Structure 1
């Protein structure tokens, strides 16, 4: 997606649809977000996709702890959050006070415009198995990998991110 398109959506406040009011958001419904996504997608599928991912992540962050919300939006309510999945072997381990993340997380749609990534992580549990969680990581803690060359969805910028020994509280 072109930078101008992202900036127009950001400046119009579209990414704020599911953000809490205390950070300048509109606290609108998921249904409203989906309706807008469909309309954007009529003009450009990738724009609709990125809008829905960034806006949905804002909705997920809005359900996180107040501290997490302050970390993401406390200084600037216009920041964006992408998401990713550990399809390429990203792993976390439990340590005192949090997690350590290493490896590659894929499908970070909108990562070009994101200040944070809301990564899906599978935390190993004592006795076996894993627990599925989301973990917020600022852009300064990961590297974007230019590995997204999908036909028809190239403009979603769904590149991978790589983390090297990153502590997540």
Structure 2
């Protein structure tokens, strides 16, 4: 598939590794969607490109790359296969958080296999009842992307009151659970887009989780969890709301770039119903340029946000609440801008664009499904962003969104 001219694919080592297996991602994309999970071929391509090791700590075979490089690699993957890029962006963040836990956790997860995957989600859909040495966790979580290929799962849970309900003032925890302690509901993922991500439900019933395999969401959100285990690297001091959305939105931007590439290839030789060549149609060409500019703007703004945050921490300056709010606001706008651009070119691709054998329709569906993730909900984040721009104190109920 041709790469949009606005996309720089020659930059990082991570992107170059993705480019080496790009044909594998493209060739396996249809099978991945049909299976409702990543195909074995797609999984192997992700491993060959080292995508899950990009943010992992060096002592466990990780690359500890600059987050911009991670975002670029996710985009390069999603440009070929939306589902593969999505899983790389979501699952690829988890090694970053494992590095913030007790060192015993890294040994448990990667001691025997440095390619072990960890899925999620972080939504607090479970209860963690405090017991001696840890917690007993029970719950039901949706949207565990890539879970069929993972041996562990990060889950969000609220501390309980002893009766199966949240405590009066619960602590929001991220808990890490091994595969033998949770069930994957295999028939729980039947959607119109990103079908190949296999984002199925997981269920946990009374699983004991030692305290060292848990971390407070607030500590991760504020970027202080790493300090508590002695990690001082800039990568691990980034706030959760700066790094976690990067993988997801990078996948959406990459999917949009893939849609643009498919549209360009299709329009190049297309003849419309009146016999005119689309490459000579000034109205369609106008739409192409406008969409290409918007997708390129989304790419730049998203990567610039995390790059600026990283540089500021590297220089010894903390990220302010206002800056975090701006990064989150812009990250959401990047996703919406990119998907709106996809709509503009898809609407000008003719009826044949909707045929199942035309990859463009898969990119279009994947883009819209990616936009449904809660990390792309604009309302509360835009509200918080506007309040911060005015210099007004942020209400407590909005602090959690950034």
What TM-score do you get using the length of structure 2 for normalisation? Answer: 0.40
Structure 2 unaligned segments of length 5 or more: list them.
1-37, 211-402
Could you say which residue in structure 1 is the equivalent of 2:153?
Answer: 117
Aligned match of 1:129 in 147, 169, 176? 169
Could you say which residue in structure 1 is the equivalent of 2:55?
Answer: 18
- Given the superposition, is the C-alpha separation of residues 127 and 10 from structure 1 closer, same or farther in structure 2, using an over 3 Å criterion? closer
Q: Which structure shows the higher helix fraction? A: 2
Give 1:43-122 correspondences, 5 Å limit.
Answer: 43-86=80-123, 89-122=125-158
Could you say which residue in structure 1 is the equivalent of 2:79?
Answer: 42
Residues 41-92 of structure 1: per-residue CA shift (max 9 Å, x gap): 11111111100111101111112121111111122111000012457x5322
Could you say which residue in structure 2 is the equivalent of 1:154?
Answer: 195
Separation (CA, whole Å) in 2 of partners of 1:21 and 1:127: 38
Deviating runs (4+, > 4 A) in structure 1?
none
Residues 101-158 of structure 1: per-residue CA shift (max 9 Å, x gap): 1121221111011111011122247971221221111111111012011111211111
Q: Is the counterpart of residue 165 in structure 1 residue 165 in structure 2?
A: no
What TM-score do you get using the length of structure 1 for normalisation? Answer: 0.92
Separation (CA, whole Å) in 2 of partners of 1:133 and 1:127: 13
Separation (CA, whole Å) in 2 of partners of 1:163 and 1:65: 22
Aligned match of 1:140 in 180, 194, 204? 180
Shift of 1:17: 0.6
Separation (CA, whole Å) in 1 of partners of 2:70 and 2:171: 28
- SS of the residue corresponding to residue 119 of structure 1 reads strand
Separation (CA, whole Å) in 2 of partners of 1:127 and 1:112: 32
Separation (CA, whole Å) in 2 of partners of 1:107 and 1:15: 19
Separation (CA, whole Å) in 1 of partners of 2:150 and 2:176: 12
- SS of the residue corresponding to residue 99 of structure 1 reads strand
Separation (CA, whole Å) in 1 of partners of 2:141 and 2:122: 5
- Given the superposition, is the C-alpha separation of residues 33 and 149 from structure 1 closer, same or farther in structure 2, using an over 3 Å criterion? same
Instruction: Please identify the structure whose Cα radius of gyration is greater.
Output: 2
Separation (CA, whole Å) in 1 of partners of 2:78 and 2:197: 12
Could you say which residue in structure 1 is the equivalent of 2:336?
Answer: none
Q: Which structure shows the higher strand fraction? A: 1
Separation (CA, whole Å) in 2 of partners of 1:46 and 1:53: 11
Separation (CA, whole Å) in 1 of partners of 2:40 and 2:167: 47
Separation (CA, whole Å) in 1 of partners of 2:175 and 2:66: 23
